[in-house]
């Protein structure tokens, strides 16, 4: 089991990197760009085999940042390609990330319907 302080450290560092990108680059970088960048970056690093080591040492510190979601998509895809070939390239990612995607859509919709913005 990954020690808690490692989850804190790796998760914190990934967020610090995001803050540096936001503060040091063009002001047109929005939170949305950060999310897109992290999921894509995580997926690419995972494909190169560079993200799994981070998960090994950081646990949730590496899987909870959105780069971990990209990692999940890539790993699901690669495993499915091994089993089913070409079809796996299209089915594996969503299969692996199904719980997260569905939870995000369903809980997101419910919260948006049930609550009203402040102010």
Partner 1 sequence: MNTPDPKRWKKIEVEEYENLVQQTKPKPPLLKHCIWAFIVGGLICLLAQLIMNYLLNQGIGKVDASSYTSVIMIFLGAFLTGIGIYDELGKKAGAGSIVPITGFANAIVASAMEFKREGYIFGVGARIFTVAGPTLLFGFVVAVLIGLIKVFLSS
- The residues in 23-62 that bind partner 1, with binding defined as CB under 8 A, are 23-24, 31-32, 34-36, 38-40, 43-44, 46-47, 58-61
Whole-angstrom distance, CA of residue 23 vs CA of residue 17: 10
State in Å, rounded, how far the first CA of the chain is from the last one: 43
CB of 28 to partner 1, least distance (A): 15
Q: Which is nearer to partner 1, 20 or 53 (CB)?
A: 20
Number of chain positions touching partner 1 (CB under 8 A): 80
Residue 93 CB contacts under 8 Å (≥ 6 apart), including other chains: 73, 74, 76, 77, 80
CB of 27 to partner 1, least distance (A): 11
């Amino acid at each position: 089991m990954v020690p808690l302080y490692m989850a804190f450290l790796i998760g914190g560092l990934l967020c610090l990197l995001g803050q540096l990108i936001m503060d040091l680059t063009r002001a047109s970088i929005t939170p949305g760009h950060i999310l897109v960048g992290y999921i894509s970056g995580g997926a690419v690093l995972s494909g190169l085999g560079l993200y799994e080591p981070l998960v090994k040492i950081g646990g949730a510190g590496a899987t909870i940042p959105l780069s971990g979601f990209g990692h999940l998509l890539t790993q699901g895809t690669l495993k499915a390609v091994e089993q089913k070939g070409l079809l796996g390239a299209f089915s594996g990612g969503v299969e692996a990330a199904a719980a997260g995607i569905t939870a995000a859509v369903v809980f997101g919709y419910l919260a948006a319907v049930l609550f009203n913005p402040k102010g």
